[in-house]
Structure 1
């Protein structure tokens, strides 16, 4: 196989030795290609140290398709090197897949049964839709009246009807409320305490109360199924690691280097998880801080990558 020619910026990344590195890369710059070569080089370094029995390079990305592409490229690179096994010494996972691995290994740390289930986005949306619809039938008029001008109250039945936009708006508000709460590691009981502890003369927060009640009912729906959703996985992975220092240390030792592709699509909580696993040391983040493709239906925000690039100690 002919030697690969790297551009200067690519070569700088390939020559990475350790520490925190942030790489701002625009689409088409070959960032995934470069990250795959860096991963293969780090695996080779671990092999020469005789460390492959206990250590791995962890590569994380947002989507399954990207994870499969990176995995195939690393295997191809390693297969071309004498003495290297193409599928040993590294693990490629999506951020949710990584969180699932962590929770699945020690589910009791977060109060889950060994056979807990994960609901996909379709089932999650169905549960939420049922919860919101039930709430609106019982209390939707009460919520709407707080925002309607007195002259519009005659329109209340129409607004509550599923042919109008209000039910869809209520669903979207509830969905974002739950996602944001989980991204901030706020369980329903914690939020309930915050809302109930406000001074009696404080302004009413009808939308917050609505979101809170939907969040509580949604979580009960998951619990009845013995299940968690994708956002729970990341939150619970963090909780598991923070509750057992020995488990955390074992994973930090196992994943000596962490490489993150499409870092602009990571949320605050996902970034926190990788920071913890990397011991805030050997962590490479690659992404385009000016373009995120997954922010509409997630809590991802490229601002977190931009802040990382400006962080002290990041090369």
Structure 2
């Protein structure tokens, strides 16, 4: 085994090999984009399994944050084990929530989670649970509510203004505040009682921590009453299990070590769970066998989720002091000019942040000071396409998309490029992607180049929406709206082939139950359509209502992943309406779920050799997606349009209807105050300072700006051979309201993103 193992590790580059030779203790691995951290992690995993002779009874646990990533890492580990002549055992790859669920479900009496009877919810601010939380808090705290209504600008006794403010606070402000602080607190392991403890450390007119703790307390009570759990409850339940000495001992004996991927995106609660599992309480003198791999410079979720890169940075600094920090700096993804551009971005943004810093704060810089280096071996980094970097300034957005189209025609004109190369257009907002997609459809028609828009939100909600619309039609087939929706779904799923415009939508019964004379005029396609639709209606009389959702999945010929998602959806609805089951309650519950939650689809990877990433990176395809969605992927050619100052870094927007409170966003202020207090507790073991409202708002704006620049950095480092960037003199001021009517005069004047300006000036 020694020689094959050494050969496997020798394949790793400098930095990667340190991870490959890990044997025990804590280790932080900070890797630059394109450094092959998942590959290195898989080699280190196989090497650990081989050295320690791990098996079904004692395993290595690998934790990551998406199902697609678990599938990819598992394949890589199995491949390395096969190279070593070992069976694919001795390890487990799981999402953090999957691991927590596994622990909690084995000990329901300890976790206090009845997973068979509980409904897993992921509520947004429109969820009835959040609304009830807010209404209950207002009833219990009329004085604090009145303070919010009064705001910083009194309403001068005007009853209409008072009512307007009360409505906004009740329906918008407090639901958003509740969702933000509850998620932040739970992910940091804070209870409502510990949040109430923070009241003594804050001094603001609105008593934000008092509001937050009250909302959190009501939320938790309502969760218990309704038998709901959320994703954080899974981790809290697992931690309750591990507080039991016997249960903790059993789990620690089963686990040799824990490897964590994408560690920059983890929350304090998640890290606490992994640290307990990686320890051995019977050997307290030994460090936890915990390896955390990530890149703080790719932390792009912390302003809208509880993910906080400060903790991974802190862990890296601790490991550096113990000489167990590995930095994987060599990356073979990009050509040299793209690497240089990414490194210059890091330097420029950090330099600007230091200039604005009052106390020369180098600890909380936007980027960790680590530069991407090319691989020292020859011919690993790709050669540039043309110059490798293009910077453009166009008069308006229509000129930009026209130039993109012409460049794509040029690139894919060569058959070799279309067969073996891929291309992506990455945008900051989904509406920008739709605009580009609409204006590039001619590439498919004229040149056979597939243009694919990836809209993750519509994909996630599409299936529940389809099921809902078909159930609405089955319940009320005489409705023209529901009839039209059903026909659209059947047409999209290729179950019918008839122009919907040829059907009299306003009289569904006339089409479905024609007279003999009318029936004689039907075409074959119309007969087939009528047959398919009537079969759907017959299901209502032939099946019990709780069988309708699975039936519709089969009738629509869903694929494996869609069938699994439908099964999950059906189970969720059945549990929610137990004791009051009917078609009406199914429709009502499904409608509420779509409006108030993000229902996660079940991913399966049947496409392109089971590689889930290939649907985004197919050769010859133009993929349009958001910068956030692009993380972890790469393409030969990457286009970044609309790099304007109001787009990146943008500005923190305060809606006019809440400005009576002050020139700030109250939920973001609450998040900033809460993080500031928790950081002191976690990193310094005591609270010595607090942030005023205005200070917290300034901090929130700064963190948003930093994250936007990291997002741009992530997008830039997706490119292998060509990075094409553009800014425009005229563009929509707010893209989400933009109407693509070719009216250039309606566009607003724009300034380039400061980073783009820096590049343009330095290249000239």
On whether the aligned pair clears a TM of 0.5, the verdict is yes
Name which one, 1 or 2, has greater alpha-carbon Rg.
2
Residue 273 of structure 1: aligned partner: 273
In structure 2, the gaps of 5 or more residues are: 280-286, 325-764
Alignment of 1:1-315 (within 5 A): 5-47=11-53, 51-82=54-85, 84-86=86-88, 88-113=89-114, 115-122=116-123, 126-132=127-133, 134-135=135-136, 142-151=146-155, 154=158, 155-161=161-167, 167-189=171-193, 191=195, 194=197, 206-242=207-243, 244-279=244-279, 280-311=287-318, 312-313=321-322, 315=324
Aligned residues: 303
Measure, in 1, the Cα distance between the counterparts of 2:242 and 2:25: 22
Give the CA deviation at 1:124: 8.7
Tell me the CA shift for residue 55 of structure 1: 0.5
Residue 98 of structure 1 and its aligned partner are, at CA, apart by 1.3
Question: CA offset at residue 156 of structure 1?
Answer: 2.5
2: CA distance, partners of 1:294 / 1:258 = 23
Contact 2:123-2:130 at 8 Å conserved across structures:
no
Spell out, residue by residue over 1:115-153, the C-alpha distance to the aligned partner (whole angstroms, 9 max, x if none): 253524257962443225635875595252352422466
Listed one character per residue, the Cα deviations across residues 262-297 of structure 1 (whole Å, up to 9, x for unaligned) are 000011111111111111421111111233133233
Q: Secondary structure at the match of 2:258?
A: strand
Root-mean-square deviation (CA, aligned residues, Å) is 3.1
Shift of 1:165: 8.0
SS in 2 for 1:8: coil
Q: Quick one: higher RCO (CA 8 Å, sep 6+), 1 or 2?
A: 1
Taking a change above 3 Å as real, the CA distance of residues 266 and 111 of structure 1, as seen in their structure-2 partners, is same
Contact persistence 2:136–2:218 (CA under 8 A)? no
Tell me how far 1:211 sits from its aligned partner.
2.3
Quick one: distance in 2 between partners of 1:78 and 1:152?
74
Q: Deviations over 1:226-262 (max 9, x none)?
A: 23111122222222212x1121122112111111100
- Which range is displaced more, 144-153 or 285-294? 144-153
CA distance in structure 2 between the partners assigned to 1:195 and 1:292 by the alignment: 27
TM-score (norm 2): 0.37
Instruction: Decide whether aligned partners of structure 1 residues 12 and 191 sit closer, same or farther in structure 2, where only a CA change above 3 A counts.
Output: closer
> Are the counterparts in 2 of residues 132 and 214 from structure 1 also a CA contact under 8 Å?
yes
Stretch deviating more after TM superposition (165-174 or 20-29): 165-174
